[in-house]
Amino acid sequence: MKVYLSVDLGAGSGRVIAGKSDFSEGHSDREYLELEELHRFDNNNVELPGGFYWDVIGIYRNILEGIRVGIDKYGDSVQSVGIDTWGCDYGLVSKNGNLLGIPYQYRDPRSEGMAEEADRLLGADKIYAQTGISPAFYNTSLHLLAQVKANSRALNEADRLLFISDLLAYWLTGEMATERTIASTSQLYSPATKDWAWDVIDGLGIPRAVFGKINDPGTILGTTRDELEGQIGTTGLKVVNSPQHDTASAVAGIPIGASSTNKDAVDVWISSGTWSIMGVELENPILTPEAQQAGFANETGAENSIRFLKNISGLWMIQECRRQWMGEEGEDYGYAALAQMASEADSFTAFVDPDDPVFSTPGNMPEKIREYCRKTGQRVPDKKGTILRIASESVALKYRVTFDILADLVRENLGKELGKVYMGGGGIQNLMLTQNASDAIGREVVAGPIEATSCGNLITQMVAMGDLKDLEAGRELILRSNEINNYYPQGAEEWAQQLDRFKTIINQSN
């Protein structure tokens, strides 16, 4: 048996997961990937005088603890470790290798007004044409621009910029490099040249010197530092640059195309969780004005593919409703109970736009949904099940709107049609939303695995270590090892009629 360790860091929690597989020569069809959670910990931003920051030292300490648990349990069977995180946030490192200040959290307000300043300096169209990324408050480019405007001492003294995953990997190995998928989220990377977007960097006044070597996903960065032996129980453990952006790892972990019958079609993936991300895997970016206007981004994936994608609100509204009701009533509503309440409610009573800014912040989500219905002249829901059903059906219809735009862009730029939809991530445990996705889009949905991010992280390590041939072989391993469910569209005519009504309502709101 061989064991690989996946460090999966989200904006609220982190985990170290062991991936176990028995690679028996000549019996590849019998190989399975078994996951085991070794260590889980909270990962919350900290508000201090001066802004919002990450407790990056605490994160690192918990990573060491998770590795130690894995080494204690599996010893020499542990082959490597890989890290994936959220995108965009970074640390600045001095020439002597010291961290210059605590890394800011992407919601820190220092980026306010920076999108307008970047547009004034370069123009949003030029930035998109070079980076394939539209302005957003969390862009690395805007946070660095804020430091430029503030004449930041840390930026002026920095020798290197390392994204959070790169920084943690540096502390493990002593090696500095930037992994490509995490760089591609920054609005400072060119998916066309596969290098830093130097014209954008220069135009924003960011010093070139802080940008270093870019590693492909699947590169072995180095081995753990000897000084860590007392903390993790071993030396020389290989550290692999898995796709370090968590969505890139999630997409790698979804067995896209595994059951396709039309090889000429472009299959669609959805990474489903608090937020959903819909996209396709391409060889080259789509950098047209139409793609920019539609809000699609071009990010790098495993094996240096292009993840052409758009963010959509996912389970956020449902999760926030649950949190509100638990706070009001003190009852712990499980997600299965919420889904049951929704399934018993009447269908299509009202719709909301899940991506309307009013829903983007925490706080009394049920009332926000009711108020949206009042404002748009719809029936105002009074029961929990009805509110939940409105949220689920609205998210599914937003999937359909996005799917149709994606279909047009793929047809216009590639001359191809879209195929099946593959969904992975924790959101697929909401069976109603997953079925609604199939119903609204009108396509078969292949759902699984739940742990898509960790699976993608792990199979990339296996390829790097020579135990799997390539990403395709890894996805076949995931397919054999996980429960994969197929959902087929129901009530297509009724959903098509409701789509027109949904578009009218969200356009009215805008």
Contact call for residues 446 and 421 (beta carbons, < 8 A) = yes
Residue 329 pLDDT grade (very low, low, confident, very high; cuts 50, 70, 90): confident
Is 246 known to be catalytic? yes
Instruction: State pLDDT tens for residues 433-475.
Output: 999 999 999 999 999 999 999 999 999 999 999 999 999 999 9
Residues 6+ apart with CB under 8 A from 51: 104, 105, 108, 109, 110
Chain segment 239-264, per-residue pLDDT in tens:
999 999 999 999 999 999 876 667 78
DSSP H helical ranges for 361-383: 365-375
Check residue 509 and give its pLDDT.
Answer: 66
User: Does 114 score more than 90 pLDDT?
Assistant: yes
Query: Boundaries of CATH 3.30.420.40 in the chain?
Result: 2-244, 262-313+397-494
CB count, 10 Å around CB of 61? 13
**pLDDT exceeds 80 at position 489:** yes
pLDDT value for 282: 97
Instruction: Examine the pLDDT at 30 and tell me if it is beyond 60.
Output: no
Q: pTM of the entire structure?
A: 0.94
Residue 24 CB burial class (10 angstroms; 0-12, 13-18, ≥19): exposed
Say whether pLDDT at 46 is over 90. no
Least reliable range by pLDDT among 24-28, 62-66, 209-213, 424-428 = 24-28
126-140 pLDDT, tens digit each: 999 999 999 999 999
Catalytic pick from 108, 246, 267, 439?
Answer: 246
| CATH class of the region 2-244 | alpha beta
Among candidates 98, 431, 419, 133, which has minimal Cα distance to 287? 133
Instruction: For residue 96, give every residue at least 6 positions away whose Cβ sits within 8 Å of its Cβ, in sequence order, or none.
Output: none
Average pLDDT in the chain? 94
Instruction: Report percent pLDDT > 90 for the chain.
Output: 88
User: What CATH superfamily classification does 262-313+397-494 receive?
Assistant: ATPase, nucleotide binding domain (3.30.420.40)
Q: What is the pLDDT of residues 356-401, one digit of tens each?
A: 989 988 889 999 999 999 999 999 999 999 999 999 999 999 999 9
**pLDDT band, residue 421 (cuts 50/70/90):** very high
